[in-house]
Structure 1
Amino acid sequence: MHVVIPGRYNGPPTSGNGGWVSGLVASSTPVNEESPAVSVRLRLPPPLDRELTLDVGETTTLRDGDDVVASATAAPTPDGPLPDRVTIEQARAAEAHALSADEHPFPTCYGCGPAHPTGLRMRSGRVEGTSTYAATWTPRDDSPPEVWAALDCPGGKAAGFPATLMVLGTMTARVFTPPVLGEEHVVVSWSRGDDGRKRHAGSALLTADGRLLARADQTWIAIDAPPRDHS
């Protein structure tokens, strides 16, 4: 089948938001009882506003002509302990430490850019007295690409962005229950360590009362400084 990533779903100015694109590919990837999550590897910057080919199978691929942009397979659910519960009030307080448009390397990113006119604007900041990052999110769309996008950028912040500039390399996620439209939720994220240029993080989407709706593991890749996005 053919798909197009609309230009408004950008991460860096000229390519797709890694979480949104991963969620798009994941939504067409078959899963099973032993592997109910999906792991998506981004191999190239996802092109915007161009017809791409999505080949669905045991390994689902997103192609730009002969080039593989992303590949996805079923995977076990990310595991390991979650951070201590973060309340809505704590998450709101953490957002006070989020990046401004002047500080953000990608201010028009769909997931976390403060200058994107219709983006999610995930404003992750460190929760006081902890190593956990948190943001609030009131979804207007509960589709897989939106949920994956909400889990994406907070993980990058916990992994060290923007002190280290990085892009999403691999994301493994499972959505247990879609979020409730119009209700305020909490997205928490935490570092899972470094390995050379790779930065590992986890993120989770929870209701205001702490019920887990989705979680993800991510591997981020450190990159050289991009041109400043002034769009």
Structure 2
Amino acid sequence: MTTTTISRQFNGPDSSGNGGYVAGLVSHPVADHGAAVVTSTLRVPPPLDVPLDLAFDGHRSVLSDGATVVADAVAGAFDVDPAPFVGEVLARLGSEAYEGRLEHPFPHCFTCGTARTPGDGLLVFSGPVDDPGFPGTVAASWTPHPAFADAEGRLGTEVVWAAIDCPGGWAAHIDRTPMVLGRMTGQILSPVVTGHDYVSVGTLRGVDGRKHRTGTALYGVDGTLVARAEQTWIAIDITDFRRPTRHVPA
């Protein structure tokens, strides 16, 4: 068992952790023991700036706050194709059409918050793809900031999972129906590095009551799949996730 803390920098809603970041965090032990694909489930809003226990029993990793399970993870699998590659031009146009600039339920979100600055947030701004060949799809052009990389320019697992998180929410119209990540099955196929441009994509798979199923992917501009995820988002009462305090960049 190890102890870890989710820094306030890595929030989604103002008072809880970014879903993709936390899902990536809890995926570590499972991936380290050979799983290429990992399914992480968020059980409660992940608390910020408090010590959390991360344990692994050889099958399942568990992130806990005392007796409360915050998130857990097991080996996973995909049963659908990745979210589609839309190309660099449509991705750039998607970024320009990002609807979060007009209405955003969580403007301080680490991944897609418009109140963030370069090097403080990821600024993955995925907007509608203006092409009938890609219905229900959003995309963004994205270049990782060096602040999130190691000495070799590589982004950590948690940051990559965060980067392929929120495009799914925007594909499900999170601006119209506030929601948070409930489950994420993810895979990183090759390192994500600074100094390279990427195409981030999200697509809506379906809606079942409060549950919205989405797929996301990160591609190189040449169409090479770098990382992907399938997600379940849960519609929420926004007042339960908003607090009067504002995010202060770390």
TM-score (norm 1): 0.93
Summarize the alignment of residues 22-171 of structure 1 with structure 2, pairs less than 5 Å apart. 22-30=23-31, 36-57=36-57, 58-76=59-77, 78-101=78-101, 103-117=103-117, 118-129=120-131, 130-131=134-135, 132-139=137-144, 140=146, 141=149, 142-171=155-184
- Sequence identity percentage: 44
Structure 2 gap segments, 5+ residues each: 150-154
CA contact (8 A) 1:95 1:135 kept: yes
CA distance in 1: counterparts of 2:31 and 2:126, whole angstroms: 31
Indicate yes or no: 2:16 matched with 1:15: yes
Indicate yes or no: 2:192 matched with 1:187: no
CA contact (8 A) 2:43 2:71 kept: yes
CA distance in 2: counterparts of 1:11 and 1:126, whole angstroms: 21
CA distance in 1: counterparts of 2:36 and 2:100, whole angstroms: 37
CA contact (8 A) 2:12 2:19 kept: yes
Q: 1:51 offset after TM fit, Å? A: 0.3
The structure with the largest helix share of the pair is 2
CA contact (8 A) 2:100 2:125 kept: no
Q: 1:3 offset after TM fit, Å? A: 0.2
Q: 1:31 offset after TM fit, Å? A: 6.5
Cα 1:84/1:19, change in 2 over 3 Å:
closer
CA distance in 2: counterparts of 1:100 and 1:115, whole angstroms: 10
CA distance in 1: counterparts of 2:128 and 2:231, whole angstroms: 18
Summarize the alignment of residues 212-223 of structure 1 with structure 2, pairs less than 5 Å apart. 212-223=225-236
Q: 1:83 offset after TM fit, Å? A: 4.8
Cα 1:184/1:29, change in 2 over 3 Å:
same
Deviations 1:148-205 (A, max 9, x none): 0010000111122111110000000011111232211011110110111100000011
CA distance in 2: counterparts of 1:124 and 1:197, whole angstroms: 22
Corresponding pairs, count: 229
Secondary structure, counterpart of 2:9 in structure 1? coil
Q: 1:112 offset after TM fit, Å? A: 0.4
Q: 1:105 offset after TM fit, Å? A: 1.3
CA contact (8 A) 1:151 1:203 kept: yes
Q: 1:103 offset after TM fit, Å? A: 1.6
Cα 1:159/1:229, change in 2 over 3 Å:
farther
CA contact (8 A) 2:83 2:217 kept: no
More deviation, 129-138/168-177 = 129-138
Cα 1:204/1:166, change in 2 over 3 Å:
same
CA distance in 2: counterparts of 1:178 and 1:127, whole angstroms: 26
